[in-house]
Structure 1
Amino acid sequence: MKNIIKIIKKDFKNIITNWIALGIVLGLIAIPSLYSLVNIFASWDPYSSTSGIKVAVVNEDKGTTFRDKDINLGNELVDKLKDNDKIGWEFVDKETADNGLLMEEYYASIIIPEDFSEKTTTLVEKNVEKPKLIYTANEKKNPIAPKFTDSAVKTVKSQLDENITKTITGIIFRMCDEVGIDIEDNRTELRRIMDATYELDENMPKLGKLLDSTVNGTISATELMTEIQKILPFVEDVSDAGESFIDDNLSELDDIQSELDELSPDIKEKLVSAEEKLDSLNVTLGNLDDNILPETAKKTLLTVSDTVDAMQITTQGVRDQLKKLSRVLNKISKVDIPKIEIGNDVEIDDNLKDLLNQYNKQVEALESIQKNLKEMSKIVTMINNRLDTIDDKLTTISERVKDKINDLDNGEKLDIQFLTDIKALVNDVHGLVADIIDDYSTDIVKDINSEIDLIRNIGDNGLTLIGQGKAILPEIDNLLNTFMDISNRTHDQLVELQNDFPDLQDKVHKLAAKIKEFDDKEDIDEVLELITNDWQTQSDFMANPVEIEDNRLFPWPNYGSTATPFYTVLCLWIGGYMLSMLLGTEVHAHEGEEEYKHHEVYFGRMALFVVIGVFQAIVASLGALYILKVYAVHPAMLVFYSVFISVVFMTIIYTAVSLFGHGGIVIGIVLLVIQVAASSANFPIEVNPRMFQIISPFLPFTYAINGMRQVMAGVVYSILFKDIAILSIYMLASVIMGVTCKKASNRLIKPFVDKLKESKLVI
């Protein structure tokens, strides 16, 4: 111990009394910090200076005319880019752009083709052609710049997509709203028709009694005609009421359905995008095996779990909508539409026969529509069954993944059977989604149209029931006219008319009952609630249906602060390496003194290395805090942790050089190169090659950088203590190796050192 203290005192005395040595030591303290501070400052906030990245924009769009309106989306895009200062947009012709890109004046170019606007308007045609932006990046000029330009171009595309979607859906929802307003405006007329039908139904028994009395001769024909004349106004009122209302509104609904059919290709594209995400999930699971690190496996499984949970929420929303649609379809399809049949032995005029035939044809058409509704209901049920199956499988995946995450937290490893089962379930879900895409044109499109069919068919069944009154009431009108001529008929004809009257009365009563049922259930209100909404709000939602709530845990205010852990740790290792190059690790006693023992030399000279390393850490950390103003939640902890890291690194490097001489210096360089690549300093370790993922947990840099991030961005003490413990193990292992192996190691390498000195190339 005495000799160790003696060596320490002698080293510091030599430094203090020799100004050249003192200057070298001060330089060794300052230079590593200079390296870290310069690099941190250079990378302080690169994302705020992207306006200097020049991108050429060429607008060749000739525009087009759409429904008597001139459209030029290329000019609109150029106007948007002029207001966008995130990138240095340069608006030039094609020749200038191509030449500038080749000669590295521009990082990228965007060309808007001459048919850009024209292809956009094909959305309302059968053959849809997507417009294209031609984007070219010069990756040779700089490997990182294309990442900025790629992001900018994707943002531009997203804005264009949003504007197109908002415009088209705005038209559709506006038309729905106009139809709803039209129905609302005609409520008074609808009510008048319904009330007239109810009153006619109430008067039918009285009319029957009058007929009976006439047949029996109890009242005169004149009295009968007088009573009939009182009923005729109701008949005429019902007959003249609803014709224009039905025809106008059904044509509007047909237009809406046509617009939705034109929008359906965009829906199919989104389904294909969902399938691609499942493909990506398959690739993610394919990267897992039973040899992967638990930390990596857990992060991957958490990503899988979040994706599955989000898919379940989406699936539930679709299922609820389909169930509601199915209920409405079933309710409409069960409406009983009566026919009117008059016996062949009843003599009626040709006009009445034509009216009866017209009415019965209308009933047959309505029954055909109801049959289609039943088929649509079956399709909705089939799709819902598929969604139920998908939801069950997603639930199974979610539960098994979460159980496996708990197993990993308890120290267990992944097993092949688990991965096989999860991949099989994901493939099953993928297959079900693919089936829906395959059946898109025949099933899914029908489901989209069925929402409009819901509106139209409720309108058909509700308003046409009133139309039935219009079809039957003229018959009653003619029947009353027949009664007006009753005095000219024979008694036998009156008897035939009397026999047919109960059937006619029953049909009128059924019609009134159906209208009453429709009226009581307030189906009209349901239709109006569905289609009369704020169409602008709805189109905004379709253009941008999802908002992201951005929450950041342990946020960094700037990129320079995020780079500080890596560059500070790196400079401390470089500082130790520089010391090993310039300061010797061997100490010899003066002539006449007893030679120092190996462990005394080891500890005595190591003290000098450690003290200089401590000052290197203090200068580097304080410089980052007070010169660059880096962000740190715990500034004092940053300084102390930097000192701790420096002591660990200095111990490792000093031990290597003390044991192996120049070979130890080479070891320090090799470790530096490997650690820079495998310590997840700039990129997540999961994106590095497999070899680096394997060795990362065994490198000091990994725990030094991670601990530095803890004290700067926010401490999770269990993680920080783990990092400190592992670094302490490295330091302790180095000391044990230095004490126990120095004597043997120095003896083994001495011949090599002597031979190397003979070359007079190395000191």
Structure 2
Amino acid sequence: MPIAGFHVANELRRFKRARLTRLTIIALILIPLLYSALYLWAFWNPLNKTDALPVALVNSDQGAELNGEETRAGDQVVQGLRDNDQINWTEVSSEEAEQGVKDGKYYFSLELPENFSEAVTSAAGTDAEKARLITHYNDANGYLSTIIGENVMREVLNTVGTTISAEAVDKVLVGVLDAGDGMSQAADGAGQLADGTGQLVDQLPQLTDGMDQLKDGSSTLAAGTGELNTQVQQLSQLVDGTQRLGDGASELSAGVSQLTGQLGQVTTVQGDSASKLRGYAEQLRSLNLPGTAGIISQVEGTASSLETEGLGPQSSTASDLQRLDDGASQLAYQLSDPSAEYRAGVDRLPQLIDGVGRLDDGAKQLDDGLGQAQAQLPTLVDGASQLDDGANELHDRMTDGIKQIPTWNEGQRVQAATTIGGPVALASQDDVEVSSFGTGLSPFFISLALFIGGIVIFQIFKPLQQRAIAAGVGSLRAAFDGYLPVALLALCQALVMVAVCTLAVGLRPANVLGFTLVAMLVSLVFIAMNHALVSLLGSGPGRVGALITLMVMMVTSGGIYPVQTQNGLIEALHPFNPMTYAVNALRQMLYGFHDERLWTALIVLVATLVVALLISTLAARMQRSWSMKRLHPVLPN
């Protein structure tokens, strides 16, 4: 029988009888568009429309003062966010933002806290802290909106972090440059210190000689003060003797005074007697009596003898007694009266003795101290040499350090702060020049739609023609009789799907012809899998099995998320999933790649097609014989 013997026309002919059946064929071809073109169109590029998302922005920053200048980093961030039109920022209060996120007015909120500027400028102080951005999400507003918000905030954080970091680093760099000036001055001071220590080292030999001479002098001084102290200690005997002499002199003076007082009475009597005799002589002379001249002379001679001899007033003995009394009084005064010059001097001798003793002790301590200093002088010489070496090294290191401190102008400093604040710039490259969310998911949705298209087809079409089987047609031919009509419909589904996605939705495959051919191959494979399931299990159980197969293939295909991010069972099933290779092949054609993944996918898809047709052939062979179970199935077909 010629190829026309395949009863393709017989199965399709019955759909020409009425308009409704013809519309059914058209519907079968178009239904997969709901799962491919409609989905892709609805979710083509949602990340490119984030400017439509209402987002609350709260600027609670109170500003900060640094070096006398006010800094309002919060206002700078807000202005930067407003300059970016990718997000619809609405500036509100903190309370309005919190309530708005709760009731869904805003998808999420961003708040700059009160200490934002203070934290930004803290890097220039001693208590640095990170500036915080506070976000508030609510998954009740849509989990994907939270994911989008988190992605947006990552970009905001990177941008704001780089800007703020640059400002913070600039503040630090200003301090560094100022410190460079101070270090220059410090280096000059270190140079002066090095010069001074050098001079000190040069003068140390003279210091050593001077210290030796000083020690010799102190030893001589200590010996002299020791001898002086020994001699001065003997003066204490003078003090004691003077006290005793003073007591004796006082007694002697008292005795002499008593003696002169008693002898003075004799002198008074002799003087009075002499006066009376002279009076008598004058009276006799006035009488002018003859023969009285001799008497008068004798009387006057006696009066003169009384005055000049013995203890007379004009006698030398009376004068000596008076001088003796005066001398004894003066001696007693000098030896016993503290106000006397001699006694005052003697009374100060104990102070002199004590002072000389202290002087001797001080001279000995000085000599001991100079001895210790002389012993430590070598250590001082070594220390001074080390100090000189350290001062010179300090000067050299500081000079080298100054050379490493940049001398930037303001523009260079700002550029350096920007680089340090954001030292890494992402240079991203995508091998695909233009892509979108819908483009990335199109291989998965087209594969999904083609398998669903197969399920829908077998809602109407029978997998095997029982008349051909009953007529004894070969199992392979019977399987192909049932497969070819639905395969033609599947090819139409694939062609229409590719046409609508490329012409209406905006899908732009790099290899349109290759993409179309792969879609046609995938449609043939998936319709063959549906054909095998329905042929082997029957219409009802087969369609249920197809749905189960679809669910398993969807979650294990890696069409949405990399399987490495899913659980271990899904990752294990991934290599055995035909949809995995359908997605891979479509991606290769979509983005214009032709590596080993493409050829592996084509081989696996062709192999799956062959296996599915063999299963359908086996099912056709099994249906040649009838049994009570086939006549009365447990589940209706």
CA distance in 2, matches of 1:345, 1:136: 78
CA contact (8 A) 2:121 2:168 kept: no
Task: Name which of 415, 419, 422 aligns with 1:544.
Answer: 422
Any residues of structure 2 matched to 1:343-742 within 5 Å, and which? 343-344=206-207, 364-365=386-387, 367-368=389-390, 457-458=395-396, 460=398, 527-528=402-403, 531-533=406-408, 534-589=412-467, 594=471, 596=473, 598-661=475-538, 662-742=540-620
Query: Relative to 1, partners in 2 of residues 1:112 and 1:612: Cα closer, same or farther, differing over 3 Å?
Result: same
Which residue does 2:85 correspond to in 1?
85
Residue 22 of structure 1 is matched in structure 2 by 22
Amino acid at match of 1:82: R
Determine helix, strand or coil for the equivalent of 2:508.
Answer: coil
Residue identity in the other structure for 1:246: D
Contact 2:490–2:524 (8 Å) recurs in 1: yes
Partner Cα distance (2:98, 2:627) in 1: 62
User: Contact 2:137 / 2:146 at 8 angstroms: preserved in 1?
Assistant: yes
Measure how far apart 1:10 and its partner are. Answer: 1.8
Write the distance in 2 (CA, Å) between the matches of 1:249 and 1:342: 23
Matched residue, 2:113: 113
Cα distance, 1:637–1:160 mapped onto 2, change above 3 Å: closer
**Partner residue in 1 for 2:104:** 104
Structure 2 partner of 1:218? none
Q: Number of aligned residue pairs: give it.
A: 464
Q: Could you tell me how far 1:665 is from its partner in structure 2?
A: 0.8
SS at match of 1:111: strand
Instruction: Sort the Cα spacing of 1:363 and 1:246 in 2 relative to 1 into closer, same or farther, 3 A.
Output: farther
CA positional deviation for 1:755: 4.4
Q: Matched residue of 2:7: which SS?
A: helix
Partner Cα distance (1:736, 1:5) in 2 = 20
- SS of residue in 2 equivalent to 1:128: coil
Question: Are residues 679 and 750 of structure 1, via their aligned partners in 2, closer, same or farther at CA, if it must alter by over 3 Å?
Answer: farther
Q: 1:641 to 1:22 in 2, by over 3 A?
A: same
Contact 2:190 2:395 survives alignment (8 Å): no
For residue 31 of structure 2, what is the aligned residue in structure 1?
31
Q: SS of 1:342's equivalent? A: helix
Aligned pair in 2 of structure 1 residues 594, 737: CA closer, same or farther (>3 Å)? closer
- CA shift for structure 1 position 162: 2.5
Q: Give yes or no for contact 1:63–1:73 (8 Å, CA) kept in 2.
A: yes
Q: Cα deviation per residue 1:527-560 (whole Å; 9 max; x = unaligned)?
A: 5365335433322221121222222224442222
User: Given residue 458 of structure 1, which amino acid in structure 2 is its aligned partner?
Assistant: D
AA of the residue aligned to 1:671:
T
Partners of 1:93 and 1:183 in 2: CA distance: 48
Please state how far the C-alpha of 1:692 moved relative to its aligned partner: 0.5
Residues 675-722 of structure 1, C-alpha deviation per residue, up to 9 Å, x if partnerless? Answer: 111100111111011110000111110000100000110222422111
CA contact (8 A) 2:532 2:613 kept: yes
Residues in 2 aligned to 1:117 and 1:616: alpha-carbon distance in whole angstroms:
61
Superposed displacement of residue 172, structure 1: 4.4
- Residues 709/159 of structure 1: CA separation in 2 closer, same or farther (3 Å cut): closer
Aligned counterparts, 1:237-276, within 5 A:
246-247=188-189
Distance 1:87 1:750, change over 3 A: farther
Match of 2:53 in 1: 53
Change (3 A) 1:540 1:363: farther
Query: Which deviates further from its counterpart, 14-23 or 62-71?
Result: 14-23
Report if the CA contact (8 A) 2:574-2:580 is conserved.
yes
1:342 maps to 2:219: no
Contact 2:447–2:579 (Cα < 8 Å) also in 1: yes
Q: Which runs of 5+ in 1 are unaligned?
A: 185-242, 252-331, 351-356, 374-455, 463-522
Which residue does the alignment assign to 1:95?
Answer: 95
Judge conservation of contact 1:112–1:132 (CA < 8 Å) in 2. Answer: yes
Instruction: Tell me which amino acid in the other structure corresponds to 2:39.
Output: N
Could you tell me how far apart the structure 2 residues matched to 1:147 and 1:64 are?
A: 34
**Which is greater in Rg?**
2
**How far off its partner does 1:569 sit?**
1.0
Contact 1:179-1:249 at 8 Å conserved across structures: no
The one-letter amino acid of 1:641's match is V
Q: Please report how far the alpha carbon of residue 161 of structure 1 lies from its aligned counterpart in structure 2 after TM superposition.
A: 3.0
SS of match in other structure, 1:136? strand
CA shift at 1:745, angstroms?
5.9
Q: Deviations over 1:329-363 (max 9, x none)?
A: xxx9xxx9993233357679x9xxxxxx9999886
In structure 2, runs of 5+ residues without a counterpart are 215-378
2: CA distance, partners of 1:527 / 1:86: 47
Q: 1:130 to 1:9 in 2, by over 3 A?
A: closer
Paired with 1:645 and 1:250, the residues of 2 have a C-alpha distance of: 87
1:557–1:631 CA contact under 8 A, matched in 2: no
Change (3 A) 1:359 1:556: farther
Shift of 1:599: 4.1
Q: In the alignment, which residue of structure 2 is the partner of 1:751? A: 629
| CA displacement at 1:71 relative to structure 2 | 2.3
Q: Secondary structure at the match of 2:615?
A: helix
